[in-house]
Amino acid sequence: MGLSGPPSDHYEALGLGPGATQDEIERAFRFLEGLYAEGALATYSLLEPDEASEARARVRAAYEALADPVRRQAYDAERRPPAGPETAPGPDDVAGVAAAAPAVEDAPQAIPPALPVPAGPVAGALPEPPVPRPAPAAPAAPLHVASHAHPRDRVVPLLLPEPVTGPTLRRFREERGVTLAEISTRTKIGVRFLEYLEADRHSDLPALVYLKGFLAEYARCLGLDVKRTVDSYLSRVRS
Amino acid sequence: MTTAAPADHTTAAAVVAVPRSRRQIWSLGGGKGGIGKSLLAASLGYQLARTGRRVVLVDADLGGSNLHTCLGLEMPALTLGDFLQRRVEQIEDVLVETGVPGLRLVSGASDFLAAANIKHVQKVRILNRLRALDVDVVLLDLGAGSSFNIIDFFLISDVSLLTVIPEPTSIENSYRFIKSALYRRLRGVAGNEAVRQLIDSALDAKNEAGIRTPIDLLRVVAERHPDAEEALRREVAAFHPRFVVNQVRDEADQRVGHQLVAACARHLGVRASYAGYVPYEDAVWRAVRRRRLFMADAAESRAADHIRRLTGALLQGETLPLPWA
Ligand SMILES: Nc1ncnc2c1ncn2[C@@H]1O[C@H](COP(=O)(O)OP(=O)(O)OP(=O)(O)O)[C@@H](O)[C@H]1O
Ligand SMILES: [Mg+2]
């Protein structure tokens, strides 16, 4: 490998291009000193002790030749008789890819730009503003996943422990960091009704037929089993 | 190799709305156990879903699946094991809701024996079905180790993430993981048996040709089998693992990611990148211990903030700038 090859170029040894600033030389040296320090985390298992000390010596020699502008000028003059302009390395070269890696042409594949996001409060920017959260409650009983698939959509829904109450729904939602505003956007149900629903304010909720629809939408939004959620919640509304 | 496998036409996939090119497979490997792969997978999946992507998390840790726990769920009744054993036909049958809009889970096999002996055709079947899912991102949580089962999932991914923690054992294992993965990839384009044998021998520390790194391997191939060199070089160049450093406690830990990238380039000839880091925080294990979804449980923690940044960077294909850049 490269270490036992011919004496290397000082710029290469520091993973820099010939156009590097004095500051870059300084910082690259500090970084590489750490990289090759005795027992250093990232190299101790890759290099034999003599290889590591050889690498240290090379980096130090390069630094000594380049850190002082006068010595650097002399080195530059001797290194390369005037020729065509050399291209400055990209940021990846700085890590030493150019110096040691076999021909690596393609840049790391960039991931396509962000995918389309639905309208609504969740869409878009990182980071989301932190939402003040209620004090954590006691450990939650983990949720059971239903054993049958929803007929309309094959994905297996979740089951909340019975009985499903407003507060259990609220806790389930909050544990997933989903806001009422978001559910409202997705379901077109007013936030106020969602609040009543989660507070078990049954007398403030709309007529049963509407309530059933609201509950179904709410459950679907959170991946809950629609029928079981609606039935369980309504059994308490009726009684 | 698995990537070239023909599409599985028995798939009764739902109507495909997302162009295939848009769909991505991301995977999280790491070579070592207990370093936060599952925690990071759940957290990245959560964040992708919270920013509007349709995500399927797959617990591909077939022997020790526990991704459901990171999501606050019990082990689902149906898992990848049922799909592998053909107790269900469709991968959709083992897809479960997580309660987070847009985020769904395929749980790992609960059947340990079935998982331990997963065959190549089964892997191909899983991968084809996953690729056919109508979602934006499929995120694979890989198990510990560098076995073929794990590496093959890592290699077919569009984004291959390597989790490390700033500890010697983790870093040693991640180098082993990188070499194993790369050699497996090279094996696929070796062309002839002699080159294949050379590649296989490279993982043996006392191999006759004195090959210790991919750089050595390429040199020996160039000497002995010049015809095969070009194809191998191309594979090496296309191999691009991305490091995520987890459990960072100070600035030196943070720098480890850059050091890994530099060491990979200089001494393995591998072009890796540093995608981001996540600080060590009590809030993380506290959430895990209470079986809560960390990202929602401690949304305002620094670790959660770093995961949001990491997700954004991965979507943009950005990497952490070098210390002096
Ligand atoms: N950033 C962090 N800060 C604090 N604790 C963490 C952090 N990341 C992970 N942990 C702790 O490490 C434990 C192991 O994490 P996790 O289960 O995700 O690891 P893993 O790599 O998936 O393990 P396995 O190989 O066994 O699947 C977690 O339970 C959590 O307590
Ligand atoms: Mg795990």
Torsion sign across C-alpha atoms B37, B161, B254, A52? positive
B51-84 as b/e: b if 16+ CB within 10 A = bbbbbbbbbbbbbebebbbbbbbbbbbbbbbbbb
Q: How far is the CA of B247 from the centre of ligand 1 (A)?
A: 9
With CA atoms as reference, report the closest residue to B322 among A227, A6, A95: A95
More confident residue, B12 or A46: A46
Is B17 part of any domain? no
User: How many helices (H) does chain A have, and how many strands (E)?
Assistant: 11, 2
In chain A, ranges of CATH 1.10.260.40 domains: 147-238
Q: In the 3-class helix/strand/coil scheme, how is chain A assigned residue by residue?
A: CHHHCCCCCHHHHCCCCCCCCHHHHHHHHHHHHHHCCCCCCCCCCCCCHHHHHHHHHHHHHHHHHHCCHHHHHHHHHHHCCCCCCCCCCCHHHHCCHHHHCCCCCCCCCCCCCCCCCCCCCCCCCCCCCCCCCCCCCCCCCCEEECCCCCCCCCCECEECCCCCCHHHHHHHHHHCCCCHHHHHHHHCCCHHHHHHHHCCCHHHCCCHHHHHHHHHHHHHHCCECHHHHHHHHHHHHHC
Residue with tokens 């507070």: A199
Which of A115, A143, A177 is facing B299, going by the closest CB pair?
Answer: A177
Say what the pLDDT of residue A214 is.
95
Of B170, B224, B214, B169, the closest CA to residue B193 belongs to B224
Please identify among residues 59-98 of chain A the ones whose CB lies closer than 8 Å to any CB of chain B: 91-92, 94-97
How sure is the predictor about A113, in pLDDT bands with cuts at 50, 70 and 90? Answer: very low
Amino acid at A211: L
Contact B324 A91 (CB under 8 A): no
Q: For a pLDDT cut of 90, what percent of chain B falls above it?
A: 69
Indicate if the pLDDT at residue A87 is higher than 70: no
Interface with B, mutate which of A23, A156, A220 (most B CBs under 10 A): A156
Structure tokens at A86: 């050399």
Amino acid identity of residue A131, one-letter, is V
Tens of pLDDT, residues B68-110: 999 999 989 889 888 888 889 889 999 999 999 999 999 987 6
Q: Which of A79-88, A153-162, B125-134, B280-289 has the highest mean pLDDT?
A: B280-289
DSSP label at residue A159: E
Average pLDDT over residues B148-160: 90
Q: In the block, which residue shows the tokens 């009764």?
A: B12
How much is the ipTM here? Answer: 0.86
Contacts of B317 in chain A (CB under 8 A): 108-111
CATH number belonging to domain A6-80: 1.10.287.110
Per-residue pLDDT for A116 more than 60? no
C-alpha B165, offset from chain centre: 15
Name the residue range of residue B163's domain. 23-316
pLDDT score for B86: 87
In the predicted model, what is the mean pLDDT of residues B286-314? 96
The H or E element containing residue B69 is helix B67-70
Output the CA B34–ligand 1 centroid distance in Å: 5
Residues 254-293 of B with CB under 8 A from A: 255-256, 258-263, 265-271, 273, 290-293
Residue with tokens 């459950």: A219
What confidence tier does B1 reach under pLDDT thresholds 50, 70, 90? Answer: very low
The beta-carbon neighbor of A156 closest among B78, B219, B269 is B78
Residue B34 Cβ < 6 Å to ligand 1: yes
Nearest residue (by CA) to ligand 1, atom 18, is B36
Atom of ligand 1 nearest to the CA of B285: 31
Model confidence band, residue B4 (pLDDT cutoffs 50, 70, 90): very low
Inform me whether the pLDDT recorded for B137 exceeds 50.
yes
For the record, the structure tokens of B227 come out as 């015809």
Quote the pTM value: 0.84
**Which residue, among B11, B313, B18, has the nearest Cα to B136 in the 3D structure?**
B18
Domain assignment present for residue B142? The answer is yes
Q: Which of B35, B47, B29 is nearest to B248 (CA)?
A: B35
**Binding-face residues of A in 2-61 toward B, CB within 8 A:** 2, 15, 23-24, 26-28, 31-32, 34-35, 40-47
Could you give the residue range(s) of every CATH 1.10.287.110 domain in chain A?
6-80
Mutation target vs B (from A14, A16, A30, A46; most B CBs, 10 A cutoff): A46
Q: What is the whole-number distance in angstroms between the Cα of residue B69 and the centre of ligand 2?
A: 10
Question: Quick one: pLDDT band at residue A141, thresholds 50, 70, 90?
Answer: low
How close, in Å, is residue A208 to chain B by CA atoms? 25
Q: For residue B292, which amino acid is it?
A: R
Domain membership flag for residue B297 = yes
Residue type, A225: D
Q: Is the pLDDT of residue A132 over 50?
A: no
Chain B residues whose beta carbon lies within 8 Å of the beta carbon of residue A126: 47, 51, 308-309, 311-312
Q: What does the pLDDT average to over A33-37?
A: 95
> Distance between CA atoms of B105 and B76, rounded to whole angstroms?
9
Q: Is residue B289 part of a domain?
A: yes
Mean pLDDT of B229-253: 96
| Chain B residues in contact with A100 (beta carbon < 8 A) | 215, 265-267, 269
Q: How far from chain centre, in Å, is Cα A231?
A: 39
Between A101-110, A139-148, B263-272, the lowest mean confidence (pLDDT) is in A101-110
Given a cut of 80, is residue A11 above it in pLDDT? yes
Could you tell me which CATH class the domain A147-238 is placed in?
mainly alpha
Number of folded domains in chain B?
1
Report the nearest atom of ligand 1 relative to the CA of B278: 1
Q: Which secondary-structure segment (H or E) carries B199? A: helix B193-202
Say which residue the tokens 């797959």 belong to.
Answer: B58
On the CB side of B143, CA atoms within 13 Å amount to 19
Instruction: Read off the pLDDT band of A91 (50, 70, 90).
Output: very low
Does residue B145 register a pLDDT over 50? yes
Angle of CA points B318, B321, B324, to nearest 5°: 165
Inside any domain, residue B164: yes
- Residue B35's CATH number: 3.40.50.300
